């Protein structure tokens, strides 16, 4: 299953609560929704490529991810159900029927530490590997065409 419809669903759910979401930048809500949707679908939550293209480290998204998860957990019991009904459609892969995951602050912090250790090991390994001349990558990032598609995907989440 694609994480894009679930990310869009989480972004739209954030529109139902002024508090705490008015305190977050739209880009942070979109990035948090992306990370939470990937976690919910048991995909790799975050990567250096996402960090580079989105502009946030996973640690920077801690509060928004935890808030989005709380909102996702309450979605079925909210008085307003239009968003949930909208995302039950096949067009959106019925993502509103996906149950919210349990994500505690402790679990999130452990995940960040694990990702930091992996990133550190990867950076160390990368520093010992030479980049071929004329390569289409810059310091471990994906080719520009992939970066552009990542930016387009984030824009689509921001402007659903």
The domain ranges of the chain are 5-120
Q: Residues 92-104: pLDDT tens digits?
A: 999 999 999 999 9
Residue 140 has pLDDT above 50, yes or no: no
CB proximity list for 105: less than 8 A, separation 6 or greater: 62, 66
Distance separating alpha carbons of residues 27 and 57, to the nearest angstrom: 13
The CA–CA distances, whole Å, from 106 to 21, 75, 102 equal 22, 23, 11
Q: Does domain 5-120 have CATH number 1.10.472.10?
A: yes
Taking residues 51-79, what's their average pLDDT? 97
Distance separating alpha carbons of residues 124 and 98, to the nearest angstrom: 38
Residue 150 has pLDDT above 80, yes or no: no
Q: Residues 5-54: pLDDT tens digits?
A: 999 999 999 999 999 999 999 999 999 999 999 999 999 999 989 999 99
Angle at 78 between CA 21 and CA 59, to 5 degrees: 35
Residue 159 has pLDDT above 90, yes or no: no
Instruction: Categorise residue 55: left if φ over 0, alpha if ψ from -120 to 50, beta otherwise.
Output: left
Please indicate whether residue 127 or residue 6 has the higher confidence score (pLDDT): 6
Main-chain phi, psi angles of 107, to 5 degrees: -60, -45
């Amino acid at each position: 299953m694609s994480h894009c419809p679930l990310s869009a669903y989480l972004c739209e759910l954030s529109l139902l609560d002024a508090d705490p979401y008015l305190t977050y930048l739209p880009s942070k809500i979109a990035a948090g929704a992306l990370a939470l949707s990937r976690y919910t679908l048991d995909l790799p939550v975050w990567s250096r490529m996402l960090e580079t293209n989105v502009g946030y480290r996973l640690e920077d998204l801690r509060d928004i991810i935890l808030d989005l998860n709380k909102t996702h957990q309450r979605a079925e019991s909210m008085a307003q159900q239009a968003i949930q009904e909208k995302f039950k459609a096949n067009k959106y892969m019925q993502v509103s029927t996906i149950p919210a995951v349990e994500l505690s602050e402790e679990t999130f912090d452990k995940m960040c530490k694990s990702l930091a250790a992996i990133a550190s090991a990867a950076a160390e390994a990368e520093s010992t590997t030479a980049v071929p001349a004329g390569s289409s990558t810059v310091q471990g990032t994906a080719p520009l065409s992939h970066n552009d598609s990542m930016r387009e995907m984030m824009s689509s989440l921001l402007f659903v």
